[in-house]
Structure 1
Amino acid sequence: MNEFLFNIPAETYKQLSESERYLLEYIFKNIENIPDISIVKLSEEANVSTATIVRLMKKIGHDGFTSFKYNIKDKLNSKESIEAIDEIDTKIQHAIKKNELEVLNTIQMINRGTIEDTIQKIYDADKIYIFARGFSEMIANEMTIKLQLLGKNCEMHNDPNIIRVISSKLKEKHLAIFISLNGETEELVEACKNFKIKNISTVTITASLDSTLARLSEITLCGYKGSHSFFPDYEVRSRLPLQVISRIILDAYVIRTA
C-alpha cells in the first residue's frame, strides 16, 4: 500500500502481517484512547495477542507499547488549546476539539514523498479526471476549478453512469483522482479497477486506510477521521480531512510549478 501512518514507510507497511495491519488500523481508529490503556487492555479490545502488539511496536520503530504510548501522548498534548475556550459550553468545546484533532492528525499523517509523487502525476498528466460522490463532490469541484485555473485540462464527474462510461475511455497519459471518505463507493471502486487493468495512474484521497480504493490506487493520501459524529442518523460525516489534503496538494503544486 502506498501509504504512511505515523511516518511508517510503505515498505515497512508491506512487511506487516495481516494481524499487525489489523492492529495498526485499530490503533489508528482509536488513537485518542491509546495513551490511557494498558497493553493487556489493548489486547482484549483489539482481540490480538500482546505478542502481536510488541512485534508491531518494534517494526514501526518503538522499543515497546509504553514508548509508543508516550510518543502519542506527547503529540496529543502538544495540540491542547482548549484553555482558550474554557468559558464555552463543554459540548461545544468537544466539537471544536474534534475538528482540531482531525486537522492536526491529518497533517501529521501526510508524507512529503507521497505529496511530491502526487504533484508529479498532476504535472505529467495530459488530462485529469476527478471522481467523487455525495459531500465529497464539493471538494472535487474546488480541486477541478483550481487545476483549470492553473492551466490543467481537468474535469469532474459525479454521476454513477457517466463515471462507469468514462472509466473505460481514459488513456495512458491521463490521471484519475478519487475523493471518497470511506473508499468503498461502488462506482468509484469499479472505475479504479478498470484503470488498474489499463495501467492508468490513480490517486485516492480518503480517510479509510484499508478501504478498497486505497488498496487499488497507485497513490493513497489518508486523513484522520474522528469516530464521533454529531449527525449519527445520517451519512453526512465531515469531509474536513479530505479538504485539508486537497488544499495541501494544490498549494504544493503551485509552489513546485511556480
Structure 2
Amino acid sequence: MNIRTKLELEEHFTDSEKGIARYILAHGKEVVKDSISILAEKTYTSPATIVRLTKKIGLEGYNDFRIRYSAELEKLAVQENEIDVNFPFTKEDSYENIMNNLAVLANQTIEHTQALLDEKDLRKVVALMKKARAIDLYGTENSLLAAGLFQNKMTRIGKNVDMRSLDGSQTFLASASAPDHLAIVISYSGETETVIRWVQILKSKHTPVVAITSLGDNHLSRYADIIIRIDTREKLFNKIAPFSSILSFEYILSVIYSCYFQEDYEGHLERKISFDQMSDKRPAHLLKDDNE
C-alpha cells in the first residue's frame, strides 16, 4: 500500500495525527520540502507526533517519509497526462467527453494492471486451483462484484467456487475451510478489519491464501501465500466511483479464469457449452451455432 493510501485510512491515528495526515495529503509537494520543525509548526503539533505518525505507517522516521513520499509524488506526476481515475470527468464535460474519458480510463487501467502481473505467480495460482477441492472467495462491497462474475464463470466449467455476501457468512465459510481449499481474498486496501479476521482464521485452518490487493505493504499481504497486485492509483474516499479498482479486479480475475480454462481447454469448453445449453430456456432450434 502506498503512503497516500495509508494516510487516507487514518487507521489507529490520534486526532493530532489525523490533522497531520490531512495536511500532508492537501500539501504534498510543499511538505516534502519542509523540515520536521516547519511541518510541526504548520500543523500545530510537535516533531515527536510527526515521527510517531511516520512509524505508524511503516516508515523509519521523517527523513524516510520525505524520501519515499517524494518518489511517490514523482511517479504520480508522470501520470498527470492520463485520465484522473478519481475524477475522470467534470461537471462541464459533454456526454461525448465522458464516453471517451471512461474508455481511455479502462484501457489505461488494464495496461497498468497487466504490467503488475507476473506469469510465475499466475502459474502458482492455477496450480493451487487445480489442486483445490473447493475455491472460496472473500471480499467486501465493490470487490464482491468482481468476485461474483468470477464465480459465475468458474461454475459454468464445473469448478466448485463458493462466495458469501454477508460478513458473518464469510466468517463461517472461513471457519469451515480446510487445507484442501483455496481462498482468494480480494481487498483494495488490504487493511479492512473483517478481511484480516478472515485470513487469520484461514491460516489457522492451513488454507492457502491468494491475495488480490494494492501495491505496497499491508496486513493482508503478510498472510498471503501468493500476492497479485492491482492498479493502485485510485483514492479510497475522494472519488466519483471505484471505476479503476473494479476494472482492475475484473481484469485480474478474468486472466486467472482464462489461464485455468486453458489447462483443459477442450474439456472446459465442452462443459461450458453444455451448461449454457441446459440453462438456456429458448427453443432448441434457436441455440444452434450459425456455422452448423
The alignment status of 1:129 with 2:130, answered yes or no, reads no
1:51 Cα deviation from its structure 2 partner: 11
Alpha-carbon separation, structure 1, partners of 2:142 and 2:157 = 24
Partner of 2:242: 237
When residues 49 and 93 of structure 1 are mapped into structure 2, their CA distance, relative to the original with a 3 A threshold, is: farther
Match of 1:199 in 2: 206
* 1:158 to 2:165 alignment: yes
Give the length in aligned residue pairs: 201
d(CA) in 2 for partners of 1:95 and 1:144? 26
Question: Residue 151 and residue 114 in structure 1: after superposition, are their counterparts in 2 closer, same or farther (change >3 A)?
Answer: same
Question: Which residue is equivalent to 2:17?
Answer: none
1:154-197 CA distance string (max 9 Å, x none):
21112111111221121110111112222223222111011112
Quick one: distance in 1 between partners of 2:260 and 2:4?
Answer: 32
1:30-41 equivalent positions in 2, closer than 5 A? none
Cα drift, residue 233 of structure 1: 6.5
Classify 1:92/1:192 alpha carbon distance in 2 versus 1 (closer, same or farther; 3 Å): same
* 1:160 aligned partner, one-letter code: D
1:142 to 142, 145, 149: 149
Q: Does 1:180 align with 2:153?
A: no
Judging changes above 3 Å, is the alpha-carbon distance between structure 1 residues 76 and 182 closer, same or farther for their aligned structure 2 residues? same
Which stretch shifts more, 118-127 or 98-107? 98-107
Alignment of 1:50-129 (within 5 A): 95-129=102-136
Q: Which runs of 5+ in 2 are unaligned?
A: 7-28, 35-53, 55-61, 82-93, 266-292
SS, match of residue 159 in structure 2? coil
| Structure 1 spans left out of the alignment, 5+ residues | 1-21, 30-39, 58-67, 78-86
TM-score (norm 2): 0.56
Residue 220 of structure 2 is matched in structure 1 by: 213
Is the partner of 1:247 in helix, strand or coil? helix
Aligned equivalent of 1:80: none
Where 1:183 maps in the other structure, the secondary structure is coil
Q: TM-score, normalised by structure 1?
A: 0.63
Given that 1:181 and 1:207 are in contact with CA atoms closer than 8 Å, whether structure 2 keeps it comes out as yes
Q: Write the distance in 2 (CA, Å) between the matches of 1:42 and 1:120.
A: 46
**What is the deviation of 1:245?**
0.5
User: Relative to structure 2, which stretch is displaced further, 170-179 or 111-120?
Assistant: 170-179
Larger gyration radius, structure 1 or structure 2:
2
**Structure 2 CA distance for aligned equivalents of residues 50 and 128 of structure 1:** 39
What is the aligned-residue identity percentage?
A: 19
- 1:207/1:241 contact within 8 Å kept: no
Contact 2:164/2:170 (8 A) holds in 1: yes
- Asked if the contact 1:102/1:224 (under 8 Å) is kept, the reply is yes
Q: Secondary structure at the match of 1:158?
A: coil
* Structure 1 vs Structure 2 CA RMSD: 3.9
SS of the aligned residue for 2:175 comes to coil
